[in-house]
Amino acid sequence: MKRKTVLITGAARRLGAAFARHLALRKNYQIALHYNHSEQLATELQLELIEAGVPCEVFRADLQQIDTVPALFENVRRQMGSVDLLINNASIFTNDSIGAIECPKLLSNFQIHAFAPLLLSQALFQQQSDGLIINMLDARVRQNDPAYATYSLSKKTLLNITEYCAVVMAPGVRVNALAPGWVLPAANEEYEIPSKFPNLLNQMGTVQGLVHCLDTLIDNPFLTGQVLYYDGGEHLAGSPYLPTR
């Protein structure tokens, strides 16, 4: 059976790389692996997948350079054919309170978490074929985390984009989102594992559990405009983790 094509942004490491491995090895996708700085990791993952018999191409782009985002999608399409699945995964995790918001960080957060996903979604829609978009949110979109103002507000915008696109791109393109709680500690911050987790189930998530959620959104053709919270109920009653420093 012919492999479908998935474009995953920020896929050289961490959750993006786990999605790439899963979709390549278990779900019959060929991989358009986007990265920005992690060139070596991207190339290593590409070789790993090619050795496993899965076509994989790497694409470098800084998603803050918003004018170049349509060209990223076009390069993928030219090299790999039309994109069946887009996962808007790339992210930064900046820690700022309302009083500490600075223009450069504000812009970066919205460029990476909202504007780039919107332009990539538009490009997928304009291919004039069916497709699926999955946006990576955060359980914070249901809260108002005082410690992560620009991050939270830009992810809330991505939630709005998810619902808007689900409406205007139907019925050809389904648009859904995953909203994890704490699955992997942030790469740039240190956390203490608490004795009691601030969610209803008193536990943290696993990458494997998140991948199961991804499969649910991919495999069920009646789901669009859906946000799947993988957070132990944190979005209803709980608080996000705060860095210890």
Residues that bind ligand NAP (CB under 6 A): 10, 12-16, 35-38, 62-64, 89-93, 112, 136, 138, 180, 182-184, 187
Cβ distance to ligand NAP smaller for residue 71 or 93: 93
Region at 238 (left for phi over 0; alpha for psi -120 to 50; beta for the rest):
left
Three-class DSSP labels, 150-196? HHHHHHHHHHHHHHHHHHHCCCCEEEEEEEECCCCCCCCCCCCCCCC
Q: How far is the CB of 245 from ligand NAP (least distance, A)?
A: 18
Q: How far is the CB of 2 from ligand NAP (least distance, A)?
A: 28
The H-or-E segment that residue 87 falls in is strand 85-88
Cβ distance to ligand NAP smaller for residue 130 or 189: 189
Closest CA to 215 of 19, 16, 11, 8: 19
User: Please, how many CA atoms are within 13 Å of residue 244, restricted to the half-sphere of its CB?
Assistant: 6
Q: How far is the CB of 243 from ligand NAP (least distance, A)?
A: 13
Q: How far is the CB of 203 from ligand NAP (least distance, A)?
A: 13
d(CA 229, CA 217): 12
Cβ distance to ligand NAP smaller for residue 92 or 228: 92
Q: How far is the CB of 219 from ligand NAP (least distance, A)?
A: 20
Cβ distance to ligand NAP smaller for residue 3 or 60: 60
Cβ distance to ligand NAP smaller for residue 30 or 94: 94
